[in-house]
Structure 1
Amino acid sequence: MPRTIRDSIRINDWRRRIARGLMRLLFGAPAQLSNEPLPRTGIYRIVICHISHTLGNALLLTPLIQELEATWPGAEIDIVTRSQVGQELYGHYTGVNRVFQLPSHGVGHPLLWLRGIRGMRKAHYDLAIDPDPQSQTGRLLLLMAHATYKLGFTGRKKSGNVTHAAAIPEALPSKGQRPVFLLRSALGDSVTSTSYPVPDIRLDTLESAQGKHTLARVLAASPATSSSRRKTIGIFANATGPKLLGPDWWTPLLQALEASCPDYQLMEIVPMFGRSMLGSRYPAYYSSDLRRLGGVLAALDAYISLDCGIMHLACAARAPTLGIFTTTNAAEWGPYGPRNHAVHAYDLPPDAVGRKLATIIESDASNAAPAG
């Protein structure tokens, strides 16, 4: 494991240990497992305390929202989040009422932080949920909420009493599936099912149609578009920190991919800072609007990137998503669901990764083709 990753893990571990110690001083030992299931009736007002501000984490909350809508279709859901795009991501869910947007860093904006918390505390909820197995801030907000039932994970990493708790499922590391597991456990449902909702930003018909039109327009206008390639693979070559790999890695990968997928045109999804990562070799699309970008991603025949927030956006836009994992944990962060793949590339050279991606894409296309 690269030194920068080890150092980051070590710092985060110490930060969490300090936060856990303070929480236990204030709120006592971890919660005990409840013997009584959550009721299936009488739940009308729900609040989710989900504090992570990254795009990926924000999108990985949407499976829980889907599960809540399916369980209590007549309920309203409020969400407390530090994501600055929470309204864009959750606003198309019919069950979502309010999104309390806290600042990314509360220390620098204490008044905005307090305003968001005050808005949450004005309401009385039937159910409050802290869906994160590690966050101490999420647990603190849960304990501050006025709610009849309070649900969260229990274990040495969590503190404070809740009415319903579930042990952290070590055999289920997926960030998108664990919150759903938590709710199902509290309801007394079977937790052995392998069927989980897939992240979804609920693109509407107009957004999807506009995405298809935009993609066609981008391809038609680019001199790099080949008329012999009838399908399109989107490439997002950016990532954060040690996950970022440069042109020396991407070039042989894409050469191998193009050679193995002659029917597919490559196009680049340009990062938020507005600069091509692939030397402007391919048709390219840029948008600072996540829903508009999601519409274009949904029109792709396949999407490829390293582990990053846009990978989760592609999955949530229902694009066939291939996430390449070279450093982070694929079981924890990988896309899941039909035609979504976490591609293990920890020790593979880039050209081998390109051929592996091509095999997956061609296999998916073959399986999706109508018989006869």
Structure 2
Amino acid sequence: MKLREKLRQFDKVRRQKLVWIEKLFYKAISLNRKPEKTSIDKKEIKKILIVRNNKRIGNVLFLIPFVDQTIKIYPDAKIDLILMEPWQGQFFDGFKINKILYSKLRMSGILNFTKTIRAANKENYDLILCPFGSSTDTIISGLISSRNKVSSYDNTRSRIFPNSNQYDEKFTHTAYKPLSILEAMGNKLRFPIKHHITLSSDEKIKGIVDANRLKVNINELNVAFFRGARGKKRLSDATWNNILDRIESVSKVKINWIEILSKDLDYPLRQSNCRTFYSEDMRHLGSVLRHLDGFVCCDTGPLHLADAVGATCIGLFTETNIDDFGTLGSNSINIQGLEKLDEKTVFEKLYNWQTI
């Protein structure tokens, strides 16, 4: 067991045993910022802050449905976000967001974090929404003044979020679960629920141009894959070669593989007959993936990025549950465990999408 996993287990036990200390801490940070105990009328909500402090690509992308629904439910309100890092704001380009603040919550960024909290406290928010309720999200919410504060109901955090209501969870997927918070407030969700990034016309064109450069032959399948993943989710090179070989073995046409590289994974799996692509611009990477014939990836950030732009995704879930973290696009496949990988089904999905 890796050290990080041991620390996570320790933290889980610690929180269970020392919940009373956690309550005292939340009480202390909220002493001068107590929300109103009664929920204010919806018409009075003019300024909203949504808090999500997380550094993972997928977790930030899973915030999109909640942000989109909040915008639709409160069309006349100014809606701000607090995210962790500046690069995350790009995922909300095209959304009706007033401003985005960045916590930079880490030891080296404590000065910037303090400045962000001070700036937020000048806004006089009517409502703070904390859709995922992590400990850091709770702390940030406790440090900022607002008339009402709402999250999922948890007695431990009730001092910070006194306006939260108990509810039956309607959704299973991590991206949709927080929507029940909005419903518990008496709001009706607006369907269809959006989980997509909005690409501009210019971004789409640039994506098409680079995708076409990567394609060997438009009459063949040009499919991207990404080997990177955290911890146990990462597959060996031998396993990846086996997966690609299996899909090739049932293909009616030649498959031209395009490997997506990253800073952590800068060498190609196959030294010949395989093109590579690298981009630090995630919106551009998403647009390129959208305009290839498919994308094969484990449960990691690039998979959810590709899903958010509408790419044809083949998601390989070896350690996580597809009900919680699977791709949401209608033209994608989620595979729960490599033993359930059906290469014929994968090929048909890629081939049928390419011929549309």
TM-score bracket for the superposition, by shorter chain length: 0.7 to 0.9
Q: Which residue of 2 aligns with 1:256?
A: 246
1:270 counterpart letter in structure 2: L
- Alpha-carbon deviation of 1:59? 1.0
Q: Which residue of 2 aligns with 1:66?
A: 68
Of 187, 203, 224, 2:199 maps to 203
- Alpha-carbon deviation of 1:275? 1.1
Distance 1:171 1:217, change over 3 A: same
Q: Which residue of 2 aligns with 1:162?
A: 161
Task: Find the residue that maps to 1:164 and give its secondary structure.
Answer: coil
Q: Which residue of 1 aligns with 2:31?
A: none
Task: Find the residue that maps to 1:203 and give its secondary structure.
Answer: coil
Do the aligned residues in 2 keep the contact of 1:151 with 1:164 (CA within 8 Å)? Answer: yes
Of 258, 268, 274, 1:267 maps to 258
Percent identity of the aligned residues?
Answer: 21
Q: Which residue of 2 aligns with 1:312?
A: 304
- Alpha-carbon deviation of 1:235? 0.6
Per-residue displacement from partner, 1:280-316 (whole Å, max 9, x unpaired)?
4411110011111111122122221001011111111
Q: Give runs of aligned pairs for residues 35-50 of structure 1, distance below 5 A.
A: 39-50=41-52
1:189 counterpart letter in structure 2: K
Q: Which residue of 1 aligns with 2:33?
A: none
Separation in structure 2 between the aligned mates of residue 61 and residue 265 of structure 1, nearest angstrom: 34
Q: Tell me, which stretches of 5 or more residues in structure 1 are unaligned?
A: 29-34, 220-224
Q: Which residue of 2 aligns with 1:129?
A: 129
TM-score under structure 2 length normalisation: 0.85
Task: Find the residue that maps to 1:338 and give its secondary structure.
Answer: coil
Q: Which residue of 1 aligns with 2:118?
A: 118
Cα RMSD (Å): 3.1
Separation in structure 2 between the aligned mates of residue 84 and residue 12 of structure 1, nearest angstrom: 28
Q: Give runs of aligned pairs for residues 77-226 of structure 1, distance below 5 A.
A: 77-93=79-95, 95-105=96-106, 107-133=107-133, 135-155=134-154, 158-167=157-166, 172-189=171-188, 197-219=193-215, 225=216
Q: Tell me, which stretches of 5 or more residues in structure 2 are unaligned?
A: 28-36
- Alpha-carbon deviation of 1:218? 2.3
Q: How many residues matched?
A: 346
Separation in structure 1 between the aligned mates of residue 167 and residue 55 of structure 2, nearest angstrom: 22
Distance 1:3 1:140, change over 3 A: closer
- Alpha-carbon deviation of 1:148? 2.4
1:181 counterpart letter in structure 2: S
Separation in structure 1 between the aligned mates of residue 8 and residue 192 of structure 2, nearest angstrom: 29
Greater shift, 247-256 or 292-301, is seen at 292-301
Do the aligned residues in 2 keep the contact of 1:274 with 1:286 (CA within 8 Å)? Answer: no
Separation in structure 2 between the aligned mates of residue 9 and residue 27 of structure 1, nearest angstrom: 21
Do the aligned residues in 1 keep the contact of 2:141 with 2:160 (CA within 8 Å)? Answer: no
Do the aligned residues in 2 keep the contact of 1:44 with 1:126 (CA within 8 Å)? Answer: yes
- Alpha-carbon deviation of 1:54? 1.1
Task: Find the residue that maps to 1:108 and give its secondary structure.
Answer: helix
Distance 1:256 1:54, change over 3 A: same
Separation in structure 1 between the aligned mates of residue 187 and residue 40 of structure 2, nearest angstrom: 8
2:241 counterpart letter in structure 1: T
Distance 1:231 1:19, change over 3 A: farther
TM-score under structure 1 length normalisation: 0.82
Q: Which residue of 1 aligns with 2:228?
A: 238
Distance 1:187 1:170, change over 3 A: closer
Do the aligned residues in 1 keep the contact of 2:50 with 2:79 (CA within 8 Å)? Answer: yes
- Alpha-carbon deviation of 1:79? 1.0
Q: Which residue of 2 aligns with 1:222?
A: none
